[in-house]
Amino acid sequence: MTTENTNKDNSSRRRRALIGTTLAFVVVIALYSAYYLLVLTQREETDNAYVGGNLVVLTSQIAGSVREIHADETQMVEAGAEVVKLDAVDSEVALSKAEAQLGATVRQLREQYASVGQYEALVQQRKLGLQKAEEDLARRAPLAADHTLSAEEVTHARQAVADARAALDIASKQEMAARARLAGVDLSKHPDVLAAKEAWVQAWLTLRRTSIPAPVAGYIAKRSAQVGVHVEPGTPLLSIVPLNQLWVDANFKESELRNIRIGQPATIEADIYGSKVEYHGKVAGLSAGTGSAFSLLPAQNATGNWVKVVQRLPVRITLDAQELAKHPLRIGLSTLVTVDTHRRDGSMLGTPMPAAPAYASQVPVYSVAQAGALADKIITRNLVE
C-alpha cells in the first residue's frame, strides 16, 4: 500500500508539474503574442542608420594667394569670423587703378560737355559768315548787270556763299555729333561714368573679399588650404560642420516602410554613448528614391543576370536640440533607430517648401549701396571746377 501511495503521489506531482509547465508556456506565448501585437507591430527598428549634417564648404570668390589661416581642424569658429586671409596687394592696386579711371572718365566727359558750347559758338560764327557772304553777293549782283563789276567778281561772291553754307553745314553736323553722346543725360549719369563706377565698385568688393569669413558657426574639418598656395574662385579651402544642425538618416528596408509616416516619434541610440543615452526625434521625411537609384552606377535590373536585392530607403529623423547640445554627435556616427508607428495618420510625402530659407549664411552681405556712395564722392571730387 505504501508503494502504491508513493507512486500515486509521484504521478500526481508529475501531472501538476506538467500542467504548470504547460500553463507557463501558454502564459509566455500569450504575453509574447500580446507584446508582439501591441509593441513589435507598432514600431520599426534598424541599425543601418547614421548621423548626417551640413558640410559647409568654404571657398574663395576671387583669385589670390593664401596669406593667413586663422583656424585649424577640430577648432570652433563663430559665424562671421575671418578664417582665411588672401594677399590683398593686387586688389589694392586694382582699386586705385579703378579710382583713377573713374576720375579720368569724369574729366573727359567734362571736356566733352564743354566742347558742345564751342560747337554752338562755331555754328553762330558760320551763320554770320554765310549772312555776310549772301549780303556781298546781293550787292554785287545788280552791279554785274550794268557791267559796273566784272562777272568774275560776282562768280567769286557766289563761291563765297557756297563755301560759307558748306562750312555752316559742317559746323551744324559737328554740333549734332557732340550733342548725340551727351544730350538728355547728366554727367554723373552718363553711361561711361556708370561703367567706370561699376568697375570701381567691383574692385572695392574684390578687395574686401580677400578676407574670407565663416558663413556659419561650427567646427573646422577637411582643411585643404595652405599658406602661400594660389587659389582660384570656387577652390575648396576647408569645411565647417555646424554640430547643432544634425539629423539621422535611417535606411529602412522597403518592407518596413509600410507604416512609417512623417511626424512619428523616434528614439535613437548612438554607438558612441551606448544605451545610456537616448535621443528623441521625429520622422522628418522619406527620401524620393532608394540608395541604389541615386548611386554613381545605378543597378541595371533589365539585364538577364538579375538578382533581386531588398532595397533600403533613407528616412530622415530630426533630433532634439537640447539633447544634442548635452550629448554632441559627429557626422557619420552609427546609431540604432526605433520609430513608433502607432499613429499612422500622417503623410508619407514631404511637406511643401517653406517661405523662409531653411539655411542661410549668417555673414552680412557687403553693401553695394555703401560702395556706390563712396564712388559718388569720387565723381563729385572730379566735377569740382
For 159-208, the pLDDT digits (tens) are 776 777 777 677 666 666 666 565 666 777 878 888 999 999 999 999 99
C-alpha cell at 308: 533581386
Place of cell 553745314: 169
In a domain, 149, yes or no: yes
Q: Is the same domain home to 96 and 173?
A: yes
Predicted pLDDT of residue 120: 64
In a domain, 265, yes or no: no
Place of cell 589670390: 64
Q: Is the same domain home to 109 and 158?
A: yes
Environment class of 1 (CB within 10 Å of its CB; exposed 0-12, middle 13-18, buried 19+): exposed
For 260-275, the pLDDT digits (tens) are 899 999 999 999 998 8
Q: Is the same domain home to 97 and 80?
A: no
Q: Is the same domain home to 153 and 81?
A: no
- In percent, the amount of the chain with pLDDT more than 70 equals 79
- What confidence tier does 16 reach under pLDDT thresholds 50, 70, 90? confident
Q: Is the same domain home to 154 and 201?
A: yes
Q: Is the same domain home to 120 and 198?
A: yes
d(CA 273, CA 140) in angstroms, rounded, equals 118
Closest CA to 311 of 251, 249, 250, 254: 254
In a domain, 182, yes or no: yes
Task: Indicate the number of domains in the chain.
Answer: 2
Task: Name which of 15-24, 116-125, 341-350, 361-370 the model is least confident about.
Answer: 116-125
Closest CA to 64 of 205, 172, 210, 196: 210
Q: Is the same domain home to 82 and 222?
A: yes
Answer whether 0.75 is exceeded by the pTM: no
d(CA 246, CA 329) in angstroms, rounded, equals 8
Q: Is the same domain home to 140 and 69?
A: no
- What confidence tier does 35 reach under pLDDT thresholds 50, 70, 90? low
Do 373 and 89 contact (CB within 8 A), yes or no? no
What mean pLDDT value characterizes the chain? 82
d(CA 135, CA 86) in angstroms, rounded, equals 76
In a domain, 140, yes or no: yes
In a domain, 27, yes or no: no
Q: Is the same domain home to 82 and 219?
A: yes
**DSSP per-residue string spanning 325-340:** HHS---TT-EEEEEEE
Q: Is the same domain home to 219 and 84?
A: yes
In a domain, 108, yes or no: yes
d(CA 41, CA 342) in angstroms, rounded, equals 9
In a domain, 39, yes or no: no
Residue 71 is part of which domain span?
Answer: 57-88+215-240
For 46-80, the pLDDT digits (tens) are 999 999 999 999 999 999 999 999 999 999 999 98
Looking up residue 222, the CATH number of its domain turns out to be: 2.40.50.100
Other Cβ atoms within 10 Å of 269 Cβ, number: 19
Q: Is the same domain home to 95 and 192?
A: yes
Q: Is the same domain home to 162 and 174?
A: yes
